[in-house]
Amino acid sequence: MEKFERLEGIVAPLDRSNVDTDAIIPKQFLKSIRRTGFGPNLFDEWRYLDRGEPGQDCSGRPLNPDFVLNQPQYRDATILLARANFGCGSSREHAPWALQQYGFRAVIAPSFGDIFYNNALQNGLLPVVLDEAQVDALFARAGGDPALRLAIDLQAQTVSTLDAESGFRFDIAPFRKYCLINGLDDVALTLRKAEQIHAFEEAHLRAFPWLAPARGRP
């Protein structure tokens, strides 16, 4: 996965609490067995005025002009600002995929659904937990034009405005921080031990040769 060290980007303010994963990526799009192509359907029922279907070309669909991501100043946003309990609901991993494939690299909120939070970290999307007052302060600045820009420094664990007038510190588990900074998902972490794994497999089969698969069989 892509490394996350420092991000400077436009903030899109989604002023809603309890945004569940079905709102992030509606259930009809879970039919896909691929891990790509979900960005155009992020917040599908809020972004568009019609119902979206898997495989549909979204370029000609009618947009909801009142939805934040359809407002010109936020269309290149890489940081999503949300309210409490973002990502609640079902455990679908498609939710962080859709956010990433739209272009978001981080989500800031007072709290997250537990499964969404872990899925996001596993996929290189940084969920930043700030307290309610800090999130309120960011919303107060994020609603104008031009849009608010923030810097998120994962090494320092800080969120700050580019003019450095205000900044907040956030917590993250050291192991998750290490994985994000180094771009390591679970597969990449395992492959770092590939030599030791192969050595164990060879030694194990020498000790227990009857466990080897028969020739011509998987």
Instruction: Give, for 169, the enclosing helix (H) or strand (E).
Output: strand 167-169
Note whether residue 208 is domain-resident. Answer: no
Q: What is residue 177's predicted lDDT score, i.e. its pLDDT?
A: 97
Contact partners, residue 29, CB within 8 Å, separation at least 6: 38, 41, 44, 52, 54, 94, 98
Q: Which residues of the chain fall below pLDDT 70?
A: 164-166, 214-218
Which pLDDT score is estimated for 207?
87
Helix (H) and strand (E) counts for the chain?
Answer: 8, 7
Assign residue 51 the CATH number of its domain.
Answer: 3.20.19.10
pLDDT for res 63: 97
CB half-sphere exposure, 52, CA atoms < 13 A: 30
Rounded distance, CA 1 to CA 125, Å? 10
In a domain, residue 108? The reply is yes
Residue 8: the pLDDT is 97
The reply to whether 123 falls in a domain is yes
pLDDT digits (tens, 9 = 90+) for 158-217: 999 987 666 899 999 999 999 999 998 878 777 777 788 888 888 888 888 887 776 545
In a domain, residue 78? The reply is yes
User: Structural domain tally of the chain?
Assistant: 1
Q: Which pLDDT score is estimated for 214?
A: 61
In whole angstroms, give the CA distance from residue 66 to residue 111: 25
Domain span at 130: 6-183
Q: Is residue 37 a part of any domain in this protein?
A: yes
